[in-house]
Amino acid sequence: MRVHIIGVGLIGGSFALDIRNAYPDVQLVGVDTEPLHLEKALSLGIIDEIADLDDVSTSDIAIVAVPVDVSIHLVKTILDKIGEQTLVIDTGSTKGKLCEAVIQHEKRRNFLAAHPIAGTEFSGPEAAISNLYRNKTNIICEVEKTAFKFQERALDIFQRLGMRICYMDAKSHDRHIAYVSHLSHISSFMLGKTVLEKEKNERNIFDLAGSGFASTVRLAKSSPAMWSPIFEQNKENVVEILDEYIHNLTNFKKLIEEDDFKEVYKEMERTNHIKAILNGIN
């Protein structure tokens, strides 16, 4: 099996590592706009060779792991270039606009819109890790628009990598992901911004920050090049959930200002229910 990894960073590189473990005879081909990324991926053994998009028709599978604003145009270009037997899998975290962009393409049946709910705050080929996707949910959107033989090919990979599969339409995907992922990143970025603005002594941040702060602000280390386009493409859902979040923050601030700490306690106690939900996931 020959696989094009288009974008050899954390997501694409981790796919490559796990596909190699699952398919020992696989040939992994890297494509990236950054030559240094390709050289690093090659030296780390993430890919076997460097190629370009014109070579994509030689592969059985092309996995697209690039920023979502790039993927809208890139996926269509890839579909233009592939052969009849090539499957194209996108891994981005917004799906609505991408699915709209390819709906009329003559090779839409060769395309699978997927979103593995996995990652770290790091980027680049060095960030790629084995087993990133094991026991993680992989959302597949508009599966009925993908030819069945390509569905089977993709599911074989996902199952060998240990993923849990969830099916969803693209609009629902973007709405739910805004709630549980995109808002988390915005909160982390803005928490980091607030602390940097209020605490001018960076040494104090280093010395005094506990594990709670570190875990909460961890996502603020994520790549703006990846996340800014996500917020742009999912603007409607992001603005909606931000309105609700700001409302809750404003209400919580008001309770503290009014010394209503009984209600502060009740608000936190009600929110403790999230533990039961997350324990069920884990």
Q: Domain map of the chain by residue range?
A: 2-170, 173-281
Mean pLDDT of the chain: 93
Band (pLDDT 50/70/90 cuts) for residue 202 is low
What six digits make up the tokens of 3? Answer: 């696989």
Res 209: pLDDT = 62
Same fold: 2-170 with 173-281: no
pLDDT, tens digit, for every residue of 167-195?
Answer: 999 999 999 999 989 999 999 999 888 88
Residue 67 per-residue DSSP state: -
Query: What DSSP string runs through 195-262?
Result: HHHH---HHHHHHH--HHHHHHHGGGGS-HHHHHHHHHHTHHHHHHHHHHHHHHHHHHHHHHHTT-HH
**If you average pLDDT over residues 214-243, what whole number do you get?**
91
Which range, of 78-92, 101-115, 217-231, averages the lowest pLDDT? Answer: 217-231
* Three-point CA angle 76, 22, 67, nearest 5°: 30
**If you average pLDDT over residues 250-274, what whole number do you get?**
94
Of the candidates 92, 99, 84, 78, the residue with the CA atom closest to the CA atom of residue 144: 99
pLDDT at 281 over 60: no
How far from the centroid of its chain's Cα atoms is residue 57's Cα?
A: 26
Q: Is 272 exposed, middle or buried (0-12, 13-18, 19+ CB in 10 A)?
A: exposed
Band (pLDDT 50/70/90 cuts) for residue 196 is confident
Tell me, which fold does domain 2-170 have in CATH?
Rossmann fold (3.40.50)
**If you average pLDDT over residues 89-99, what whole number do you get?**
97
Res 121: pLDDT = 86
pLDDT at 79 over 60: yes
User: What is the rounded CA–CA span in Å between residue 90 and residue 99?
Assistant: 10
* Class of domain 173-281 (CATH, top level): mainly alpha
pLDDT at 69 over 70: yes
Res 210: pLDDT = 61
pLDDT, tens digit, for every residue of 36-61?
Answer: 999 999 999 999 999 999 999 999 99
Of the candidates 150, 143, 119, the residue with the CA atom closest to the CA atom of residue 133: 119
Which range, of 132-141, 199-208, 223-232, 240-249, averages the lowest pLDDT? Answer: 199-208
